[in-house]
Amino acid sequence: MSKDGLPTGLNIDATGIRVAVVTATWNEEICDQLHARAIARGRELGAEVADFRVVGALELPIVAQALARSFDAVVAGGCVVRGGTPHFDYVCDSVTAGLTRIALDEGTPVGNAVLTVNTYDQAVERAGFEESVEDKGAESMEAALATVLTLRQINN
């Protein structure tokens, strides 16, 4: 499980940081949970959080890019479950490359909360439900906010 090695004890004071959360609505139950957990964690840490929705994972990069121009950080969430065709691979590659490119091109941290899983049950395990072993929405928010703070430290 990818939770192994997750950093603990992050001391993040996100006061004054503006972060946008954009999440797909495909695989609604999972995406709603990822979205809610990212927003809740950002607010717990003191960030000003704005939320946006798109239909599917492929729509995330274009909206995340627009948000990256106006916010200190972006968290993008979604859920892509493997099917019987290569479509899964194309979607996952496109979204991951797009989000990475946005972060580098815009100089804005982008937390990747897009689950790419073989089964729906694997998504549930990672979405931050009570029975889940991981909370990728919250973890991606923490990573994005911590990166904002690191960049501010470098630039000061």
Catalytic residues: 87
3-class state of residue 116 by DSSP:
strand
Question: 64 among the known binding-site residues?
Answer: no
Beta pairing class for 73-81 and 110-117: parallel
Sign for the CA dihedral angle at 25, 29, 34, 37 comes to: positive
Question: 31 among the known binding-site residues?
Answer: no
Question: 22 among the known binding-site residues?
Answer: no
Question: 80 among the known binding-site residues?
Answer: yes
Residues in Cβ contact with 154 at an 8 Å cutoff, skipping those fewer than 6 apart:
none
3-class state of residue 92 by DSSP:
helix
Sign for the CA dihedral angle at 72, 78, 82, 84 comes to: negative
Question: 111 among the known binding-site residues?
Answer: no
Question: 128 among the known binding-site residues?
Answer: no
Question: 155 among the known binding-site residues?
Answer: no
Question: 92 among the known binding-site residues?
Answer: no
Distances 54 to 17, 36, 40, 46, 114 between C-alpha atoms, Å: 23, 15, 19, 25, 13
Question: 79 among the known binding-site residues?
Answer: yes
- List, as residue ranges, the binding site for (2S)-2-hydroxy-3-oxobutyl phosphate: 84-85, 126
- List, as residue ranges, the binding site: 26, 57-59, 79-81, 84-85, 112, 126
- List, as residue ranges, the binding site for 5-amino-6-(D-ribitylamino)uracil: 26, 57-59, 79-81, 112
